[in-house]
Amino acid sequence: MENGSGVAAPTPQRPHVVLLPTPGMGHLIPLVELAKLLVAHHGFSVTIVTLDASSASKAQDALFSSLPDSISSLALPSVPLDDLPSDARIETIISVAASRSLAHLRDALSGLKSSANLVALVVDLFGTDYFTVALELCLPRYLFFPSNLLTLSLIFHLPELDATTTCEYRDLPEPLRLPGCVPIPGRDLLHPIQDRSNDAYRWVVHHARRYREAEGILVNSFDAIEPEAAKVLREPEPGRPPVYLVGPLTQCWNPKATDERAECLRWLDQQPPGSVLFVSFGSGGTLTTAQTAELALGLELSGQRFLWVVRSPSDGENASEAYFSVRSKNDPFGFLPAGFVQRTREVGLLVPSWAPQVAVLNHAATGGFLSHCGWNSTLESVVAGVAMVAWPLFAEQRQNAVMLAEGARIALRPRGAAEGGLVPREEVARAVRELMEGEEGKAARQRVAELRKAATSGLEEGGAAYKALAEVASKWKTTN
């Protein structure tokens, strides 16, 4: 293109956004999916900034190497954390690392600003201190919230709850009632706020206060799964940033892709449609030795087909020899009840440590998911149209389980799991049979099929999630 003097006019730079996830693949994956949409549909280029290159995993490296050239990555130098107590919780470690990385981020963003058309900084749930650098550099500051509207509503309400409540939240006499959300018993609230004397609690409250400094919050959820909460949070409120529902952002499933490691997919090929319960507790979830045994015996008692991703128990060093035939932290199958593997080999498949979850959930033979209720896994299950048995462990999983069972009505909760106690084998068997064969399970499958359709249509051009992201992208493009 030429200007009036016959000299070629400079090509305008693509708008550029920096995304800064909290460490961990569960936080990185949805932000990568957001980056892909910004590049493919809205003409952006993206830099994903991570903390501490020395902590990068093989999975993270593989994910970054698969991305198009329009999405680059940059790792900030590590910061000292050896002064933190040995029992510091992950929320504290991440928050301190972020607060100590501000100078490194300032240098990185200043460099990008000089070479790219930098229009926004997007951080996720524990990155609010990065807003300080965005303000210094006059960059619009946005927050990506990788969980649901229930958890976001709790975060918005937390400073007030902190100021008006003196007891531990597990001791609240009544369930917490947030606008548009199902009532949540205090014991089921977000795990890092359950001990108000811990630094992790103070950090969560600190971030909650800074959420209101964001110019907008992008949430990895969608209207149909939380309709009342969506309605409430769309209403303008003084001092609260606008909320944009851009989900579900999940790892894409490619049915043509093959994985030579995935023996479990070949096993699923031999099973009847909708007949297999997938059992997995996410990338970091483990059970106690006693609960592992009860889960195994309950699956056997249910008579249902199952595919179980087995990990060594969290207290494996103290496993009772009365329960287990072999004890080795390196052999998760050794923590299973004696004879269980042989007795269930006709109906069950055990996979150590890992399985291609998205592919398993989308397989025609998969008819249910016994899940820890992590939000990424929940969305993957919904997008695949698979109902759940809710078995939460930590983080926000317990309140997710309440919402999925009583709000969205796509999950069944075993009795006992709600109290955090041992779920006996008989109750495991009952919940599994009900999901796979009972009327409650049938209703949950019908409901999740409706949500699957809503989730898919929302991401298509003209859908609610597509339009929400387009609105944010338009704002960023007019920043400069």
Residues with catalytic annotation?
Answer: 27, 124
**What residues contact 65, with CB distance under 8 A and at least 6 apart?**
none
With H, G, I as helix, E, B as strand and everything else as coil, classify residue 341: helix
CA 284 to chain centre: 12
β-bridge pairing 45-51 and 366-371: unpaired
Q: How many residues are there in the chain?
A: 480
CA dihedral 75, 80, 86, 91 (to 10 degrees): -50
The Cα angle at residue 436 between residues 431 and 438, in degrees rounded to 5: 75
Q: Are 217 and 244 in contact (CB under 8 A)?
A: yes
Cα separation, 333 vs 310, in Å, equals 7
Cβ-based burial of 46 (10 A; exposed 0-12, middle 13-18, buried ≥19): buried
Cα separation, 240 vs 292, in Å, equals 44
- Residue 353, number of CB atoms within 10 A of its CB: 10
- Residue 274, number of CB atoms within 10 A of its CB: 15
Cα separation, 234 vs 352, in Å, equals 43
Q: How far is CA 281 from CA 231, 313, 392, 437, in A?
A: 31, 12, 8, 22
Residue 57 token pair: 């995993």
Residue 264 token pair: 């479990």
**What residues contact 376, with CB distance under 8 A and at least 6 apart?**
26, 29, 30, 146, 250, 282
Orientation angle between helical segments 375-384 and 25-42, nearest 10 degrees: 50
The Cα angle at residue 314 between residues 309 and 125, in degrees rounded to 5: 80
Cα separation, 108 vs 10, in Å, equals 25
Cα separation, 212 vs 217, in Å, equals 9
Cα separation, 302 vs 315, in Å, equals 26
